[in-house]
């Protein structure tokens, strides 16, 4: 009989960026390393880790025509590879969680590598690049000399300044299906309220010429966005990170790079302070504003009264019942959602639209699940199984519509139904027959996602 005496959780072991072209000759291996975390690691270890990564990439290329290596699992670590730009590689190494156990023959570690889902943490690594690109541009764009530094030193300085702060706020053990989805929540409004918000956006874009795009949030849910869904998700993650709080205390604006027609275009990001529950994020034409502070004060004077009125109307609309789907938001909602979520055996669902990267449902996802009542989240193995089902859909696009039903060893039933780019996952935690599961699924679909599936 074994007894657990020590537990080690999933943790970030190392994170580094390199480019082999910067040190092609023997003795120049150190030049390849552009960033390495932990920063106090000795140079020999950095060179050894980069060399091993190069060997793995080269070895994998003998079997594929492209640089498609993504993950390498060992008993104690899991390593993720991503090449965001030609020649630049980002590597993230996680320590596999384990239990320290004892038995008659001695102590041993029981590793749980199956708790680390490749898709989730590959998405985390890709998001780390997107966040840098959002505020600094591509790696290649930063490979330029300035008055004090040569091109490579300037790039290394930018990477260190950004990632040393970014990595401190990464919480690996809290990553879940939202990281795999790369999605945000939209707040459903009736036609009148939505048109009012749209007219407000049109008014400020017409009144203030430098404003090119707007993002309108209510209670951290998206009402309107003028940028592509991927960049919206990156900005949404930034707004909810400590990095935003730190910057907001010192300045109102910062550069932002948004993808338009396949190219990165630079804007100036300005975030107006919250008016009641509304946050207004503006993308200004870069270089078009001479006095940003003056524009900020003028904007607040013009929009604050209107935002106050809009916020009041939305609040009344939601309190009176609002859209039925709002009460089942993953990040919040009415008391009916909370009371339903308190029962761990209550049916739950997650809806995900790949087209606009939207999610909603009765499951608390992302950071919200760690500030909510017990029972509103899902076990890690169920989360991983949902991502497996999504991966299966993404790898097989031949079927326009399909349904999959899975039962886990601990009596969780997961029903996945997909139609084109829309997916719904229904989670039942009770001992049921297949007929009961089918009936419960039909009830949930009719109640919450009616009209989405044929």
Tens of pLDDT along 368-390?
544 443 444 688 889 999 999 99
Residue 169 CB partners (closer than 8 Å, separation 6+): 241, 242, 243
Residue 153 clears pLDDT 90, i.e. is over it: yes
CB count in 10 Å sphere of residue 91: 22
Give the pLDDT of residue 16.
Answer: 98
Residue 396 parent element (H or E):
none
Local structure of residue 319 (DSSP, 8 states)? H
Residue 454 clears pLDDT 70, i.e. is over it: no
Residue 337 clears pLDDT 60, i.e. is over it: no
Give the distance from CA 274 to its chain's centroid: 23
Local structure of residue 264 (DSSP, 8 states)? E
Q: What is the mean pLDDT of residues 341-352?
A: 77
**Backbone phi and psi for residue 343, each to the nearest 5 degrees, phi listed first:** -85, 110
Give the pLDDT of residue 49.
Answer: 97
pLDDT band at 67 (very low <50, low <70, confident <90, very high): low
pLDDT band at 306 (very low <50, low <70, confident <90, very high): very high
Three-class secondary structure of residue 321 per DSSP: coil
Give the pLDDT of residue 334.
Answer: 39
Per-residue pLDDT of 250-292, as tens digits, reads: 677 889 999 998 889 999 999 876 778 899 999 999 888 888 8
Give the pLDDT of residue 6.
Answer: 65
Per-residue pLDDT of 187-204, as tens digits, reads: 989 999 999 999 999 999
Give the pLDDT of residue 326.
Answer: 39
Q: What is the mean pLDDT of residues 43-49?
A: 96
Q: Which residue has the tokens 């945000």?
A: 184
% the chain with pLDDT above 70: 88
Domains, the chain: 6-173 (3.30.450.70), 184-318 (3.30.450.30), 348-366+375-449 (no CATH)
Give the pLDDT of residue 325.
Answer: 42
Residue 391 clears pLDDT 70, i.e. is over it: yes
CB count in 10 Å sphere of residue 213: 20
Structure tokens at 226: 């003028």
Please state the pTM of the whole predicted model. Answer: 0.90
Residue 14 clears pLDDT 80, i.e. is over it: yes
Give the pLDDT of residue 262.
Answer: 86
% the chain with pLDDT above 90: 57
């Amino acid at each position: 009989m074994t007894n657990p005496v020590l537990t080690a959780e999933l943790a970030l072991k190392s994170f580094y960026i390199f480019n082999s072209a910067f040190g092609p000759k023997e003795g120049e291996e150190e030049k390849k390393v552009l960033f390495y975390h932990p920063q106090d690691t000795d140079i020999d270890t950095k060179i050894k880790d980069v060399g091993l990564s190069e060997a793995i990439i080269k070895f994998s290329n003998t079997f594929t025509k492209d640089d498609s290596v993504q993950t390498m699992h060992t008993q104690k670590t899991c390593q993720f590879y991503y090449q965001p730009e030609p020649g630049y590689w980002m590597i993230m190494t996680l320590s596999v969680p384990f239990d320290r156990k004892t038995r008659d023959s001695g102590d041993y570690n029981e590793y749980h590598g199956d708790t680390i889902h490749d898709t989730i943490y590959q998405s985390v690594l890709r998001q780390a690049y997107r966040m840098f690109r959002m505020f600094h541009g591509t790696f290649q764009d930063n490979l330029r000399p300035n008055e004090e530094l040569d091109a490579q030193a300037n790039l290394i300085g930018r990477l260190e300044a950004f990632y040393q702060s970014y990595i401190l706020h990464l919480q690996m053990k809290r990553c879940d299906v939202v990281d795999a989805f790369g999605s945000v929540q939209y707040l459903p409004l009736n036609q009148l309220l939505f048109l009012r918000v749209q007219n407000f956006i049109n008014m400020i874009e017409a009144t203030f010429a430098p404003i090119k795009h707007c993002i309108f949030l209510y209670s951290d849910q998206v009402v309107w966005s003028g940028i592509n869904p991927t960049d919206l998700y990156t900005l949404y993650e930034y707004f909810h990170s400590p990095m935003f709080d730190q910057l907001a205390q010192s300045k109102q604006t910062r550069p932002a790079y948004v993808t338009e027609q396949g190219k990165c275009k630079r804007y100036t990001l300005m975030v107006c302070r919250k008016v009641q529950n509304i946050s207004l994020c503006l993308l200004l034409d870069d270089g078009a504003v001479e006095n940003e502070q003056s524009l900020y004060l003028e904007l607040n004077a013009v929009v604050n009264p209107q935002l106050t009125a809009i916020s009041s109307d939305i609040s009344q609309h939601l309190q009176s019942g609002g859209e039925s789907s709002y009460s089942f938001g993953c990040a919040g909602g009415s008391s009916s959602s909370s009371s339903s979520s308190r029962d761990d055996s209550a049916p739950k669902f997650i809806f995900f639209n790949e087209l606009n990267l939207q999610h909603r449902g009765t499951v608390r996802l992302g950071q919200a699940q760690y500030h909510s009542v017990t029972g509103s989240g899902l076990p890690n193995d169920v989360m991983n199984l949902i991502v497996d089902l999504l991966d299966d859909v993404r790898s097989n696009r031949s079927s326009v519509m399909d349904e999959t039903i899975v039962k886990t060893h601990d009596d969780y039933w997961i029903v996945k139904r997909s139609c084109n780019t829309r997916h719904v996952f229904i989670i039942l935690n009770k001992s049921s027959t297949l007929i009961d599961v089918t009936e419960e699924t039909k009830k949930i679909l009719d109640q919450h996602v009616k009209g989405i599936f044929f």
